[in-house]
Every structure is written in structure tokens, then in C-alpha cells.
A and B are shown apart, each in its own frame.
Chain A
């Protein structure tokens, strides 16, 4: 009886927070997150664009190469660093607005990852060239001058050891 009452209270809690329960049960299944098939008709495209909060002119699905991205939109590759830091983002730490669609590979384009939209003042070929010029130049100087090393004109220091005889320049008595 007591067990039944306890069970009843559990049901009661679920009923009191019915909205949360419904949300958990209805929306947090893997199948609910799976994108639908690639739209073929114009109406289907518009519906998909609306689903992801995009204007129909911005909506473009990934080409069907069998990987199963479905109707998920192909968004431009813009890194976090390229986004305006002074814009009042809803989530400034991710530079993202509420309900803004995420890039399929959003984990790759965050501010802590590489900047695909970077435009450095010195381009990468010149950077590589400068690096190689300095390193190879230093190597060439080392290699070219290695044979003209200057040393004091003395033989190695003589240490007494068994089996080795060292001599002075005097004659024995």
C-alpha cells in the first residue's frame, strides 16, 4: 500500500511538471534530431529553410554524397575570429544569436579552432619563405664555415693511463 502511495506521488510529480515531462519524452529522442530527407520540390525547400530559420534564398542543402546530412543547410564557413566582436550577440562567448542555425561542423570553426577566414597582413607563402630563408641561411653559414674552425695548436691533453706512454722532449740520463 505504502509502495503504491509512493508510486502515486511519483506520478503526481510528473503530472505537476507535465510540460517538462512532455518536453523530455517528446523532443529528446535521437530520431527527433535527425534531419529529414533532402527536399526535392520548391515547397519542400521553403519548408526546410523555415525549419532552420533561414531565408529560402540562403538555404542550400549539402550535396547528396551518401553521408546522410539530409536537409541540413550548408552554411558559409565563417570562423569565430572573423565575426564582429562588437556586435551585441545573444551568446557573446560563441558569437551566436538565439535560434541562429549552427554550422554542421561548428565545433571546427569556433574561436578556439583555426581561422578559415583569416587574411594575415603577411601571407603564408611569404611567412614560409622568410622562415626558410633564415633557417637555411643559418644552416648554410654553419655548413660553409664549418671547415674553417679555429683551434689552439695543441695536441690533446695527456692523461696517465695503463698501456699508454707519454714522453717529454728531454733525453733520458
Chain B
């Protein structure tokens, strides 16, 4: 089902450790919307947010933490904030999966073009 992939399964399998080797705008004639970082560094520093949490969902995590601090010990009141944060993280993961699939298809395309070129030169 594609839930796991061999790390070096084939030459068209992208590495999950490296960034894309292709132009991110390639194949998007209208361009792509840039991801927006809402939380500022000052806010994150002030909240002592660990580095691993300073991603594109940090503003939602800050809101969730602030809510918890405000309503403690009735933290169940922050269910909405928590859900918003976790949904954001889920969507971030889906985006990474999409990027992986895009990379895989572009690698396959590159291989296809190179094979065709090789055939033409050989013939």
C-alpha cells in the first residue's frame, strides 16, 4: 500500500533523507503557493519552543500551549486548539508524502528520457 518503502529499493526511489533535486516549480505553469511561517522567532524563543517543533505549525502549537496555561487544570477545554495543531501536523505529513511521490515520478520521467536518448544515440 506504499506505507513503507525500501530505502534503496530502486534507482527511481527518492531518499527520505535528502531534499528534492528538481526545481520545485517544475510542472506548475501557474506557480505554487509558498508555505507561510506565521509564528515569529521572537515568539518561539519566548515560549522556549524546542527546535524540532519550530515548523510551519508552530503558531498553532503556541496557541495550544497558551490555552493550556490559561485554563489549567481544565485542559479539556483546549480540545479545539489541540485538534487544530494535530490536523496541521497531519497535513504537513501528507504534503511530505506528496512531495515524495512527485520526486519519485520525476525520477522515473528522468530515467525514461535518458533511456530514450540513449536509444536514439545508439541507433
Decide: A169 near B98, CB < 8 A? Known: A156-B17, A158-B55, A159-B54.
Answer: yes
A160 touches B3 (CB 8 A): no
Task: Mark contacts of B1-36 with chain A using CB atoms, 8 A cut-off: 1 yes-contact digit, 0 otherwise.
Answer: 011111111000010111110001100101111110
Q: Which residues of B contact A151 (CB under 8 A)?
A: 4-7, 16
The reply on B101 being an interface residue by CB < 8 A is yes
Number of interface residues, chain A, beta carbon within 8 A: 23
Given A147-B7, A159-B55, A166:B2 Cβ within 8 A: no
Number of interface residues of B (CB under 8 A): 38
Chain B residues whose C-beta falls within 8 Å of the C-beta of A169 in the assembled complex = 32, 95, 98
* Bound-complex Cα distance A109 to B58 (A): 69
> How far does the alpha carbon of A108 sit from the alpha carbon of B94 in the complex, in Å?
69
Residue contact A158 to B56, C-beta cutoff 8 Å: yes
Residue B96 interfacial (CB < 8 Å): yes
Main secondary structure of the interface of A (DSSP, over half): loop
Contacts of B20 in A (CB 8 A): 155
Known contacts A154-B96, A157-B55, A158-B56; A166 and B35 CB within 8 A of each other: yes
Scoring B residues 52 to 72 as 1 if CB is less than 8 Å from chain A, else 0, what string do you get?
A: 001110000000000000000
> Which residues of the partner chain A approach B25 to less than 8 Å between Cβ atoms?
167
